[in-house]
């Protein structure tokens, strides 16, 4: 692991993620303008020293909006992954420990969910719940439960064959205690690595829902919503779409790069 941090690509990924996290926690340190402050006389100014990312059609500073949007654009994916992790671990533990008809029933349900593209399932859920960042996070989280369930179940079945688990069961330790104290720690490593990978996917998914108008609602700054707002001006004001889009891409690539480095056997 020590050698992993010598990789220039990994170092850059860490720096990108640290910078964006700093934006999320202390946005006022990085920008002087309020994200909702309008100035019609400064509308559609290109990137310059006075406005690093230019201004939008209402004269709002795009740099300030990108920086302030990082809090919402990161919080929703974290909630989504947390929901998927909690649901997937619960289903996987129950299926892998009880087995039999319970395992078969739960896994057939998981297979049904996996047969539907995640973005289509997210769209269905958020359409039923209504637009909003919280609903988008719930939709993305529910769509991710099935993947975690499969991984957890496989790890539970493997862990149950370990000598120390069989010894604990033979010694009379109750099933739930064995599951929580011996099996669950065995599951944590691969599952947390998957959670890190899923975070990058969740950033894209939440931004996509906001782009479609099902996530953050105007005038709240959010990366996907900003890309959507700027698409009508792509020919004359490219920065409205391109710069928030590049921010989404940079964060996604950085998260995935770090996740691959942290995963067991991952490429450094």
Convert the pLDDT of each residue in 86-115 to its tens digit: 999 999 988 888 888 998 999 999 999 888
Is the bond preceding residue 219 a cis peptide, omega within 30 degrees?
yes
Long-range contacts of 16-24 (CB under 8 A, 24+ apart): 16/250, 16/251, 16/254, 17/251, 17/254, 17/255, 17/258, 20/70, 20/74, 20/247, 20/251, 20/254, 21/70, 21/74, 23/67, 23/68, 23/70, 23/71, 24/70, 24/71, 24/74, 24/75
* pLDDT number for residue 1: 46
Q: What is the pTM of this model?
A: 0.86
Phi, psi of 76 (to 5 degrees): -60, -45
Count of all residues that appear for the chain in the document: 268
Confidence band, pLDDT 50/70/90 cuts, at residue 156: confident
pLDDT, one tens digit per residue, over 43-99 is 999 999 889 999 999 999 999 999 999 999 999 999 999 999 999 999 998 888 888
- 6, pLDDT greater than 70: no
**Which domains are seen in the chain, by residue range?**
2-30+39-262 (1.10.3720.10)
Residue 48 DSSP code:
-
The arithmetic mean of pLDDT across residues 28-42, rounded, is 91
- Kindly give, in sequence order, each residue whose CB lies less than 8 Å from that of residue 196, ignoring residues fewer than 6 positions away: 255, 258, 259, 262, 263
pLDDT per residue over 199-244, tens digit each? Answer: 999 999 999 999 999 988 888 999 999 999 999 898 899 999 999 9
Q: What is the pLDDT of residues 163-202, one digit of tens each?
A: 766 676 666 666 676 677 767 777 787 888 888 889 999 9
CB atoms within 10 A of CB 235: 6
Which pair of structure tokens corresponds to residue 173?
């330790």
Tally of CB atoms within 10 A around 207: 31
Q: How far is CA 17 from the centre of its chain?
A: 13
């Amino acid at each position: 692991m020590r050698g992993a941090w010598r990789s220039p690509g990994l170092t850059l990924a860490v720096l990108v993620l640290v910078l964006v996290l700093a934006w999320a926690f202390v946005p006022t340190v990085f920008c002087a303008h309020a994200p909702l402050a309008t100035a019609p006389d400064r509308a559609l100014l290109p990137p310059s020293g006075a406005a690093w990312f230019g201004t939008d059609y209402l004269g709002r500073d795009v740099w300030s909006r990108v920086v302030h949007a990082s809090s919402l654009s990161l919080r929703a994916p974290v909630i989504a992954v947390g929901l998927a992790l909690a649901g997937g671990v619960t289903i996987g533990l129950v299926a892998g420990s009880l087995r039999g008809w319970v395992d078969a029933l739960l896994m057939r349900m998981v297979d049904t969910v996996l047969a539907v593209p995640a973005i289509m399932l997210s769209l269905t859920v958020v359409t039923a719940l209504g637009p909003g960042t919280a609903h988008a996070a719930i939709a993305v989280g529910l769509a991710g439960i099935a993947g975690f369930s499969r991984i957890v179940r496989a790890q539970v079945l493997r862990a149950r064959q370990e000598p120390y688990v069989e010894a604990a069961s033979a010694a009379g330790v109750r099933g739930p205690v064995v599951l929580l104290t011996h099996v669950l720690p065995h599951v944590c490593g691969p599952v947390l690595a998957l959670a890190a990978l899923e975070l990058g996917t969740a950033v894209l998914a939440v931004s996509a829902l906001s782009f479609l108008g099902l996530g953050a609602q105007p005038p709240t700054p959010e990366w996907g919503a900003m890309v959507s707002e700027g698409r009508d001006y792509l020919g004359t004001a490219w920065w409205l779409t391109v710069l928030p889009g590049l921010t989404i891409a940079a964060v996604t690539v950085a998260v995935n790069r770090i996740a691959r480095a942290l995963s067991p056997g991952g490429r450094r």
